[in-house]
A and B are shown apart, each in its own frame.
Chain A
Amino acid sequence: MRVDASRFISSGLIEAYVSGLATSNEVQELERGMTQYPEVAAAVNDCQLDMEQYVTLQSKTPPADLKHRIFHIIVNEEAARESGTLTTETDTEEFPETKVYVSSSWRWIAAAAILLLLGSLLLNYVFFGQINDYKGRYEALLSTQNTLASESNLYKTRVEQMEHSMDLVKDPSMKTVKMPGTKPFPSALATVYWNQQSKEVFVMVNNLPEPAADKQYQLWAIVDGKPVDMGVFEMGDHHELLQKMRSIDNAEMFAITLEKKGGSAVPTLDQMYVAGKAS
């Protein structure tokens, strides 16, 4: 027994144990020896006391605020423990620290991702609004453009019609027959353009009152003292300066009467607005 105990004491295992140098196997071996031999336990205790004396020689007063800091933490912990809100920190002590480090970097990444997402959503909103704005403006421009184009077509048509009328009038064979207003309608005025070669007849309304909806003006040619129907014409379309009527070879006079819609076989004489001699 004594021999075994002294073997422990002289092996250097005690010094290795006290200085923290012993491996875990050596620690187990010595701790078995300590329970087995009181001399070994006493030798370890003595060595430990001397080591602690060496440690105590190197004491140093810690910074003054540290005690307050530590007490602040434990007082809070005790308050939490009493109110039952303290999580068992002692058991999970090792893991949360690393976990916090890991998750904190993820937290930053997540925060950055959320910010990017929010920024993207905001830009989407802004751009969508702008697109709607541009779309609206584009549509407005498009409709303006369409309006202009149709107006332009309208004017083009009118110009063409006028050019056509002018060409007719400019023709040297064209004869002009002015038809002033009759006594009941003194301010009325119309003109017949009669091409002496082609025998075509056109009428131009200078000033005639707008007829009722069921009435139409009718042109007559007077040939050998008798009225010849030259056709009815519309007042609605003012753009056409000259309206083509029936052709006639010769006539002494032209006259316009207001008749029922579609025209009459015989002119209503008291409704004669204008009349003019052809020669």
Chain B
Amino acid sequence: MGAAVTYTESELVLGLKARNEKHFGYLYDHYSPALYGIALKVVNDETVAGDVLQEIFLKIWRGIERYDSDKGRLFTWMVNIARNTAIDTLRSKAHKMGQKASELGSNGLASDQLAIHPSVDHLGLVKVVEQLNKEQRVIIDLAYYKGCTQEEIAKILDIPLGTVKTRMRNAIIQLRNILKQM
């Protein structure tokens, strides 16, 4: 596949809607690491994450007609498909809230990822991990990667339900501040 070729997002979307396999190859090459990263973080298992990634790309390929560029960017649309697919897999695999919590706690998430897979971006991630406190990191990951509801998070973190949204807001503001410094 032409490595030198680059597409704008609208070109890419047009090519995908025309069922052009070259465009799909380009899409895969550029976005599969990010989407695989999501799947892996959600399911915590490389084999399952591989199956999930396959399902994600098949959903993208089969559902591209339904993508509306007026409603959001292509990447946002794909990230949502990836999260929903991975979280559905996780939920059908282990529906116990406790298990999700223990997975999060024991793996320490990002540091584990770093240790096994150093990447170009790992310095940025180290910075994020260093500067977000543990509760802020965990609350974002529980909601974003594990699909936990406010009630579940309140139980897991043992905080009042009414404070979940406020804490989430603070965590994300802190995250965005760190990202802006990079």
Q: Do A and B come from one complex?
A: yes
Residue ranges of A at the interface with B (Cβ–Cβ < 8 Å): 11-13, 15-16, 18-21, 23, 47-48, 50-63, 66-67, 69-71, 73-75, 77-78, 89-90
The answer to whether B168 and A66 have CB atoms under 8 Å apart is: no
Residues of A within 8 A of B119 (CB): 59-60
Verify A15–B50 contact, CB threshold 8 A. Answer: no
* CB within 8 Å of A: which B5-45 residues: 19, 21, 24-25, 28-29, 32-34, 36-38, 40-41
Chain A neighbourhood of B148, CB < 8 A: 21
Which residues of A are found within 8 Å of B33, using beta-carbon distances? Answer: 59-62
User: Number of residues in B with C-beta < 8 Å to the partner?
Assistant: 57
Q: B76 near A15 (CB under 8 angstroms)? A: no
Which residue from B19, B28, B54, B165 sits with its C-beta under 8 Å from A16?
B165
Q: A55-B79, A56-B34, A62-B36 are contacts. A21–B175 as well, Cβ < 8 Å?
A: no
Q: Verify A52–B125 contact, CB threshold 8 A.
A: no
A69 touches B54 (CB 8 A): yes
Interface of A is mostly: helix
Question: Is A15 a contact partner of B32 (Cβ separation < 8 A)?
Answer: no
B168 touching A19 by the CB < 8 A rule? yes
Q: Which residues of A lie under 8 Å from residue B173 when comparing CB positions?
A: 15
Measured CA separation A90–B62 after assembly (Å): 7
Number of contacts between A and B (CB, 8 Å)? Answer: 129
Q: Write the chain A residue with the least CB distance to B110.
A: A58
Contact A71 B36 (CB under 8 A): no
A52-B75 contact, Cβ under 8 Å, with A15-B173, A59-B121, A62-B36: yes
Within 8 Å of chain A (Cβ to Cβ): is B157?
Answer: no
> Which of B32, B83, B144 sits near A67, CB closer than 8 Å?
B32
Q: Are B40 and A60 in contact (CB under 8 A)?
A: yes
- The CA-CA distance from A204 to B140 in the complex, in Å, is 131
- A55-B38 contact in complex given A21-B153, A62-B50, C-beta closer than 8 Å: yes
